[in-house]
Structure 1
Amino acid sequence: MVTGASSGIGEALARQLAARGVGLVLVARRGDVLKQLADELRERHGVHVDVLPLDLTDDEQCAEAERRLADPHRPVELLVNNAGSSGSGLFADLPLKRELQTALLSAIVPLRLTHAVLPAMIARGSGGVLNISSMSALLPRPRSATYGASKAFLSSLGETLAMETAGHGVRVTTVHTGLTRSGFHQAAGVPADRLPDMKWLAPEQVAQESLGALVAGRPAVVPGRAYRLRYPVLRVLPRWLLRRIVRREHQA
């Protein structure tokens, strides 16, 4: 099951999984886009593809995805937690509803879906969970406060679950993505001049490195050489210094 499968990293993961002969359950709000993608993947790769047009921020629609994941007659071997949203602006100025949706999609929905699928995976002794997190999880993120905080939750959850499931044949991998050309930032209303001048990643590269890390049983992966070099530095820098660096970036 791939959430947020209608575009960007989610779509790239769906395409690469289908190319490997993997049957899919595609989840996103845009049912028409999902159906078009599903038809293409069935025709090109001959795989079975189910479509679940769901708004995962809605409690009952999220519960529908949970029921599908827990269905013992149709076991899911891999859950990809990719759905996400964000807004751009000062936290106090942004609508509460949108901030709650961001927190739900990046933190609570992955928790619910993983909790629904993990018991059966552990019982079988096989399966995997791929969490699409962000480098933002390491940093204070002015104008994207809720997004960064919820991704920090997801990263921490994924790291811990990788430890808890290590002896049960289940792999949990968290992906710390950098800037990716997925349309996400435009949808969030983030001005291009506020984004760091670093190399952008293609969704296909993120998907390929993510699946490679999952197959290898690695608990975490940072796609892109530039971001891999930056990641360990960010983890060890004092928080006061990180805040100063981020403040200068936003003032530039």
Structure 2
Amino acid sequence: MADRLDGKTAVVTGASSGIGRASATRLAAEGANVVLGDIDAERGREVVSEIEADGGDATFVAVDVTDADDVRSMVETARETYGGLDIAHNNAGIEGDNDPLPEQSRENWDRVLGINLTGVWLAMKHELPALMEGDGGAIINTSSIAGLAADGSEPYVASKHGVVGLTKSAAVRYAEEGVRVNAVCPGVVRTPMVERSLEANPGAVEAITAEQPLGRMAEPEEIASAVAWLASEDASFVNGHALPVDGGKLA
């Protein structure tokens, strides 16, 4: 398994922390060259150093996923540094505010949809030509169980449902080009985003844990395992799928 992605090149957005960090690390551990994109340059470079210390090859690019030039630069870095692109994990996302809908601001709506959904669309817009230049490849978009059910604030749920729809549409359109497009739909994962929410809601850990069939939250590395599988030839006939990685929460 350590060489399952040997010689492949991947880009990962939101790669400085949480699921993105775990994904970049896992893809590198399985042999891929990884271009990490994130707005947090300091932590992104720390992840690169960790990957290199473990014998992997990684490059950091400062990326705001709502900026077309940044996204284009990330894909071009993969081409120029490693000769092409084989895997893309479009993971960058935010939770936004959780106010009642009548009290939500247009600014919050635009920001959540801009990063969570438009950011994925923009990444795919630039990744697909690069993937099709080679032998095809795999795109894995991070949605959420909120993309499969009403679980969270309205802007967040709408954005994550949109990611699932975008994934399915692209999967059908580009299958003949050798590109598989899937989504992971994590449940509650112990990431900095979730930790912020837990800090603001004392007692929430117990309540969340009680809702989980497995009796705990997921770790980022468990989502990264699903990403690595979807990126690999082990999932060669999996396309257009929104994969819950939720410990049975939606079962």
TM-score category by the smaller chain?
A: 0.7 to 0.9
Contact 2:185 2:246 in 1 (8 A): no
In structure 2, the residue matched to 1:14 is: 24
1:224, distance to aligned residue in structure 2 (A) = 4.5
1:93, distance to aligned residue in structure 2 (A) = 2.0
Q: For residues 167-209 of structure 1, give each alpha carbon's deviation from its aligned partner in whole angstroms, at most 9, with x where no partner exists.
A: 2221211111111111222335763637472141111111102
Aligned AA for 1:94? Answer: Q
1:75, distance to aligned residue in structure 2 (A) = 2.1
Aligned ranges 1:51-130 → 2 under 5 Å: 51-57=60-66, 59=67, 62-69=68-75, 73=80, 74-86=83-95, 87-130=97-140
In structure 2, the residue matched to 1:222 is: 244
Matched residue of 1:174: which SS?
strand
Cα 1:141/1:206, change in 2 over 3 Å: closer
In structure 2, the residue matched to 1:183 is: 192
In structure 2, the residue matched to 1:35 is: 45
State the distance in 2 between where 1:53 and 1:67 align.
Answer: 9
Greater share of helix residues, 1 or 2? 1
State the distance in 1 between where 2:148 and 2:94 align.
Answer: 18
The unaligned stretches of length 5 or more in structure 2 are: 1-10
Q: For residues 198-238 of structure 1, give each alpha carbon's deviation from its aligned partner in whole angstroms, at most 9, with x where no partner exists.
A: 141111111102221332132322224414xx35xxxxxxx
State the distance in 2 between where 1:80 and 1:56 align.
Answer: 12
Contact 1:137 1:151 in 2 (8 A): yes
State the distance in 2 between where 1:56 and 1:110 align.
Answer: 8
When the two structures are aligned, how many residues end up with a matched partner? Answer: 224
Q: Indicate whether 1:132 and 2:154 are aligned.
A: no
State the distance in 2 between where 1:69 and 1:99 align.
Answer: 27
Aligned AA for 1:222? Answer: P
State the distance in 2 between where 1:43 and 1:66 align.
Answer: 28
Aligned AA for 1:197? Answer: E
Contact 1:107 1:151 in 2 (8 A): yes
Q: Which moved more, 1:198-207 or 1:62-71?
A: 62-71
State the distance in 2 between where 1:116 and 1:85 align.
Answer: 21
Matched residue of 1:80: which SS?
strand
1:70, distance to aligned residue in structure 2 (A) = 5.0
Aligned AA for 1:78? Answer: I
Aligned with 1:210 (options 227, 231, 247): 227
Aligned AA for 1:162? Answer: A
State the distance in 2 between where 1:124 and 1:22 align.
Answer: 15
Contact 2:146 2:160 in 1 (8 A): yes
The unaligned stretches of length 5 or more in structure 1 are: 232-252
Contact 1:103 1:150 in 2 (8 A): yes
In structure 2, the residue matched to 1:237 is: none
Please, what TM-score do these two structures have when normalized by structure 1? 0.80
1:76, distance to aligned residue in structure 2 (A) = 2.1
State the distance in 2 between where 1:35 and 1:208 align.
Answer: 22
Aligned AA for 1:22? Answer: A
Q: For residues 70-122 of structure 1, give each alpha carbon's deviation from its aligned partner in whole angstroms, at most 9, with x where no partner exists.
A: 57544222111100001222133234323321111111011011011112322
1:7, distance to aligned residue in structure 2 (A) = 1.0
Q: Which moved more, 1:22-31 or 1:212-221?
A: 212-221
